[in-house]
């Protein structure tokens, strides 16, 4: 049913045209507000513009009105995510024969950037889910692909990526969760920390040690919820990303069929890292969406708020600050899209470029959102205003999927290692 609600600024609409929009000025981000120079549709093909349009519409109608509530109530919005999956967002770069949409990394980046303007936390979880679905699609055999991917693409089932442990974050290859082969099962012992979706999701893509020390001893197993020996820690209380639960995932003599191993023994670390390359682009894309929404919010606020007898938009300092924010936003966007294209083509510099994109974009976009909050003055600190949620939600992007410090390690290694 078309829902009608009061409109404030957009007077030309007369009576109630928009479906489900409550354009309560500045409280819900007016993502479709136009500022030409940062328009994210520049340089895209017509088809990509269509993808972007669907994602923007979905974000504005289905996510933005609930973003604050999901954050406050810590709701995992299963129904909304399933609606997104119906549009093809459950397995965007998974192959179509198992239910995926078969799109490119660049298409994916564009979609996540647009969705993120509606809710960063939910979009970030959807991107993690996509990453897991891709890992199974790419490294699983046909039985595994057919068993897991269709349900993941439709979000009938949800996935989690389990690499980090209490004792191994940046030093991921030193992970300790062991997987001992016993007959046609692996017996898992150990625990994973900070797992997004942990406890509420159905399929856990777990990196565990089947061999000796270091990355070559690590394998990748798909563990299903309900397997005896699989349990979860308490739900963590976080500063942001509150629309997805985060829990420890605990294995106590958890028997997993060997048929659930993705790829060969010892291939797990490589699978994990390949998943993360795309994951880094996705996370950076989520930061982009938040920054875009924040720039629009800041712009709108500057045009309205008056001090010293004139609108803030007349202050040269703020004009210059806004210009800097817009410039860094566009620069970030170009870097992410370039990295996405490089990854799609499997170029030799793809891994480093993805790391550069993740490093630069998550940092810059956080600064943009933070600056947007500052421009709101005291109002920026109130939860009634969306900008603080963008700041809180994207802060963690500088930490997960490889800290920005680890990104520097990857980049400097590329420069300093003679090959």
Partner 1 sequence: MSGRVLVGVKRVIDYAVKIRVKPDHTGVVTDGVKHSMNPFCEIAVEEAVKLKEKKLIQEVVAVSCGPQQSQETIRTALAMGADRGIHVEVSGKDYDSLGPLQVSKILAALAKKEEAQLVILGKQAIDDDCNQTGQMTAALLDWPQGTFASEVSLEAGKVKVVREIDGGLETIKINTPAVLTADLRLNTPRYATLPNIMKAKKKKIANMKPADLGVDLTSRLEVLRVDEPPQRQAGMKVETVEDLVGKLKEAGKV
Residues at the site binding partner 1, with contacts judged by CB under 8 A: 1-2, 4, 9-10, 12-14, 16-19, 23, 30, 32-34, 36, 39, 46-47, 49-51, 53-54, 57-58, 86-89, 92, 96, 101, 103
Least Å distance between CB 28 and partner 1?
12
Q: What is the DSSP letter of 59?
A: I
Least separation, in Å, of the C-beta of 47 and partner 1?
Answer: 6
In the numeric block, which tokens belong to residue 41?
A: 């549709």
Q: Which residues pair with 274 in a beta bridge?
A: none
Distance CA 375, CA 295 (A): 10
Using the minimum distance from each CB to partner 1, give the nearer residue, 49 or 238.
49
Total Cβ atoms within 10 A of residue 416: 7
Q: How far apart are CA 65 and CA 166, in angstroms?
A: 36
Residue pair 325/402 in contact (Cβ under 8 Å)? The answer is no
Question: Residue 188 CB, nearest distance to partner 1 (Å)?
Answer: 36
351, 58 contact by CB (below 8 A): no
Task: List Cβ neighbours of 87 (8 Å cut-off, separation of 6 or more).
Answer: 54, 58
C-alpha–C-alpha distance, residues 343 and 134, integer Å: 14
User: Could you confirm whether 310 is annotated as catalytic?
Assistant: no
Catalytic residue among 156, 224, 401, 418: 401
Q: Which residues of 132-149 are buried (b: 16+ CB within 10 A; e: fewer)?
A: bbbbbbbbbeeebbebbb
Provide the minimum distance between the beta carbon of 155 and partner 1 in the complex, in angstroms, as a whole number: 14
- Quick one: tokens of 112? 């996540």
* R_g of the chain, CA atoms, integer Å: 22
Closer of 103 and 407 to partner 1 (Cβ): 103
Q: Return the closest-CA partner of residue 400 out of 291, 274, 279.
A: 279
Q: How far is CA 324 from CA 65, 221, 293, 372, in A?
A: 29, 45, 15, 11
Closer residue to partner 1 in complex, CB, 285/352 = 285
Closest to partner 1 by CB, 17 vs 382, is 17
Q: CB under 8 Å to 230, separation ≥6 — which residues?
A: 204, 223, 249, 250, 251, 254
- The DSSP bridge pattern shows strands 203-209 and 159-162 to be parallel
Please, what is the minimum distance in Å from the beta carbon of residue 403 to partner 1?
Answer: 32
Q: C-beta of 254: minimal distance to partner 1 in Å? A: 36
Structure tokens of 259? 């048929």
Q: Which residues pair with 195 in a beta bridge?
A: 247
Of the two residues 50 and 264, which places its CB atom closer to partner 1 in the complex? 50
> What does the alpha-carbon distance between residue 184 and residue 62 come to, in Å, rounded to a whole number?
45
Q: Please, what is the minimum distance in Å from the beta carbon of residue 17 to partner 1?
A: 5
31 or 388: whose CB is closer to partner 1?
31
Nearest CB to partner 1, comparing residues 89 and 148: 89
Sole residue written with tokens 């192959």:
95
Which one, 109 or 246, has the nearer CB to partner 1? 109
* Residue 175 CB, nearest approach to partner 1 (Å): 35
Question: Catalytic positions, please?
Answer: 401
């Amino acid at each position: 049913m078309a829902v009608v609600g009061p409109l404030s600024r957009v007077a030309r609409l007369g009576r109630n045209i928009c479906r489900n929009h409550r354009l309560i000025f500045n409280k819900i981000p007016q993502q479709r507000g136009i500022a030409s120079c940062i328009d994210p549709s520049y340089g895209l093909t017509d088809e990509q513009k269509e993808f972007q349009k669907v994602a923007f519409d979905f974000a504005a109608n289905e996510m933005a009105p609930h973003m604050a509530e999901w954050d406050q109530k810590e709701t995992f919005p299963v129904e909304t995510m399933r609606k997104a999956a119906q549009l093809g967002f459950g397995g965007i770069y998974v192959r179509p024969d198992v239910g995926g949409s078969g799109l490119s990394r660049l298409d994916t980046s564009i979609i996540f950037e647009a969705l993120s303007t509606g809710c960063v936390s939910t979009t970030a979880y959807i991107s993690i889910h996509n990453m897991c679905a891709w890992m199974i699609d790419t490294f699983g055999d046909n039985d595994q692909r057919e068993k897991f991917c269709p349900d993941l693409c439709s979000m009938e089932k949800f996935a989690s990526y389990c690499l980090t442990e209490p004792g191994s974050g940046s030093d991921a290859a030193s992970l300790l969760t062991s997987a001992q082969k016993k007959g046609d099962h692996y017996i898992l012992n150990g625990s994973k920390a900070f797992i997004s979706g942990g406890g509420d999701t159905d399929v856990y893509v777990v990196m565990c040690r089947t061999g000796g020390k270091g990355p070559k001893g690590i394998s990748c197993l798909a563990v299903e919820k309900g397997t005896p020996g699989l349990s979860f820690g308490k739900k963590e209380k976080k500063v942001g990303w509150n629309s997805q639960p985060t829990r420890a995932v605990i294995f106590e003599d958890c028997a997993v069929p060997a048929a659930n191993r993705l790829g060969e023994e010892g291939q797990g670390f490589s699978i994990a890292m390949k998943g993360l390359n795309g994951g880094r682009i996705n996370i950076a894309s989520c930061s982009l969406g938040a920054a875009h929404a924040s720039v629009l919010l800041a712009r709108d606020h500057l045009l309205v708020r008056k001090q010293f007898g004139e609108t803030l938009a007349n202050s040269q300092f703020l004009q210059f600050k806004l210009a800097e924010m817009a410039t860094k936003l566009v620069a970030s966007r170009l870097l992410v899209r370039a990295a996405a294209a490089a990854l799609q083509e499997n170029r030799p510099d793809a891994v480093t470029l993805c790391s550069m994109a993740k490093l630069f974009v998550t940092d810059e976009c956080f600064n943009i959102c933070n600056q947007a909050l500052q421009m709101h003055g005291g109002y920026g600190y109130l939860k009634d205003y969306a900008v603080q949620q963008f700041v809180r939600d994207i802060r963690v992007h500088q930490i997960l999927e490889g800290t920005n410090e680890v990104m520097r390690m990857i980049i400097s290694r590329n420069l300093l290692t003679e090959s």
